[in-house]
Amino acid sequence: MDEGNLSFDDMSMWMESCALTGAAAFFAGMKGCAVIVNGPLWCYLFTQRHIEQTQSDISHRMQCTQLDNDAIVFGAEAYLREALQPYIAHPPALLAVISGSSASLIGDDVGAIVRAAGVTCPIVSLDSGGLIGSFADGWRRASCAALEVLLRATEPSVRRGVNLIGMTSSYYNGENDARELVCLLTRAGYEVRHVFGCGMRPEDVDSLAQAELNIVVHDELGLAAAEYLEERCGMPYIAPLPPYGRAGTRRWLEEICAVLPPPQMAAAMAEIHAAERRDFLRINDLKNTWGELCFDTVLIRAPRTTAWGMAQALRTEWADVRHLAVAAVLRADEAGAAIADERLAETDTARAQELLAAMEHGLLMGSSSESVYADPRRMLYLPVAYPIVDRLLLSDLPFMGLRGARCMEDALWNGSVLRRELSVRAWKNQ
């Protein structure tokens, strides 16, 4: 679809956050990091609104230069110097200055301005306007820029443990997923040193190189950082699909084990097997009453690895699906053609709307941008990606791992049974 010809309805459905938001989200995920958005106030507010859904304190760590028309014409140095003043006397652990699209057009040497202001902490200056790309593009650039500034020790005498790369609380339920994967790896006997992008401190970045293996969870976010660490520090990495579902969790652990065997793999696999058996019996009881969990059409629209990981779990263990459509980019080495019946471009809103309009006994796994087109009488809607304005998430339940598999199947089965009950009641009242 030609992005230049998108209608208003198309744009209301295509709500991909910009590179500025992705970059700010990366630095916001670092404890003790302050962020300056070098741009107009509306860019700052859009970015803050996205991040504050999971980090309520971000307004205390992020500010804006509030560029206006005068700044675009005469330069933004005075605006930037004013924004830097609080950090001269009280430097944070890391200061990130992120320029949006309008600030990028001015052409100021932001790095030189920041250094000349007398800020003594480590500084990352990044050009990350919306014209550069998507949320993932901004996150990737920010992660590599942080590594260039903060990573010093590249050849530790001893390597042990693993790092998780490419996780963020700015993905829907991302923080809960990060905690679940840490627990999962720990039960298998791995020492998880850091989750890069989700809760690290700037001073901990230097010790990333002390791990034996980097595990990339969301490769659209973390692959560039993993490649940087491999090239600079000689650290190997793997990037399997995220562990959605019980079988997906087993495959994920097996792929990691093939590269770096853990001391307690047998115990972890025994736990997965026990969960599979226990959950199978419970689900089977429900099947005896309601039959198989089946959807005529499913549309999944989410960040790349989330979409394909959930598609694989849905197709192989969660439900019977007659037509599975996935609106996400497919990596060249992935067998997406065997998973999905139809693959949509991320911006193909017209086809997504067609699928939703024609759905009967369907399932939408996406965001609030798609849910406005969803008829609850004809389909089940599960939120799995931002933006979310029609659901509340207070639970600590993840989407990944064993607990995540139960969370997702709870939602799929309970939502499907409720919809069937409502259909029966409507038929009786006719």
Spell out the domains of the chain, with CATH numbers in brackets. 3-150 (3.40.50.1980), 162-266 (3.40.50.1980), 271-428 (3.40.50.1980)
What is the predicted pLDDT for the residue at 337? 62
Neighbours of 399 (CB within 10 A): 27
Element (H, E) at 164: strand 162-165
Instruction: For residue range 385-429, list pLDDT tens digits in order.
Output: 999 988 888 899 999 999 999 999 999 999 998 887 777 677 777
What is the predicted pLDDT for the residue at 12? 47
Element (H, E) at 78: helix 77-89
What is the predicted pLDDT for the residue at 332? 63
Element (H, E) at 238: strand 237-238
pLDDT at 141 over 50: yes
Q: Helix, strand or coil for residue 430?
A: coil
Task: Specify whether the CB–CB gap between 253 and 228 falls below 8 A.
Answer: no
Instruction: For residue range 249-292, list pLDDT tens digits in order.
Output: 999 999 999 999 988 888 888 988 998 899 888 899 889 988 89
- Indicate the pTM of the whole model: 0.91
**What's the gap between Cα 194 and its chain centre?**
17
* Sole residue written with tokens 């504050």: 52
What is the predicted pLDDT for the residue at 105? 65
What is the predicted pLDDT for the residue at 4? 47
**What's the gap between Cα 181 and its chain centre?**
14
Instruction: For residue range 171-193, list pLDDT tens digits in order.
Output: 999 999 999 999 999 999 999 99
pLDDT at 150 over 70: yes
pLDDT at 130 over 60: no
Q: How many helices (H) and strands (E) does the chain have?
A: 17, 13
